[in-house]
Structure 1
């Protein structure tokens, strides 16, 4: 702020086309006011956020034991001749071991079968089998012989 006041004072003194005494008096009053009153442009409060020191703690994995022994089995099958949706699935679990199979009929008529197992030791493993598409033999189309031709009618 002092630099600003000095700049104003110098500007008023050297660029006076009017009454020099009038500007000198105003400049001196302005300089005195700048020196007498400290001008604060802003007041900043202390930060209200406190950051605690970062402590690194080891995280231990917690393995939750199941409430009941995990054992189940299910199966289902769908055969919809209207849409051609034919599929089935069967699965069973005993403890940590899951075994199952599903199959479906592909659009080309082949059957895809997947046998799978999953456990904690080996992970998930699947074996895919695919059969050859069904070849549907259609009866040959036989045209009946024409025995007699109908007479042609001419209208003149």
Structure 2
């Protein structure tokens, strides 16, 4: 009996304290962190723009190049020379149809003048496919079906496994 009384008393104590709101301490106070002021930006002295100086003499150059690749069949080149406003040059290209195209041009300062010439005659060989046509396939043979096997029903549970004839 004393155990029951102790249990009831403990239950009442728990219920009494369970109804009270929790007690907290005073809330903490917050202050913003102290930062050192940022230093003033230091700018370089402004730079004045100066127009680039170009030489007063007119341009003068010569160049040429050529490519001949037997593996790929590439064969082309370019030559040009310039003295002031007088420019002249030419370039050649092997075209896919077997001809060689040559462009000769000049410019005296009043516009480009070009002359295009071709060497050889265009060749268009007849196309012959390099593959063999697909073989003709025979239709698949018709499937041969056999009749489905017949099954006897299994004996009922507890019945003799050997059929009886009456």
TM-score above 0.5, yes or no: no
Higher helix share: 1
TM-score (norm 2): 0.39
TM-score (norm 1): 0.40
Q: Which has the higher contact order (CA 8 A, sep 6+)?
A: 1
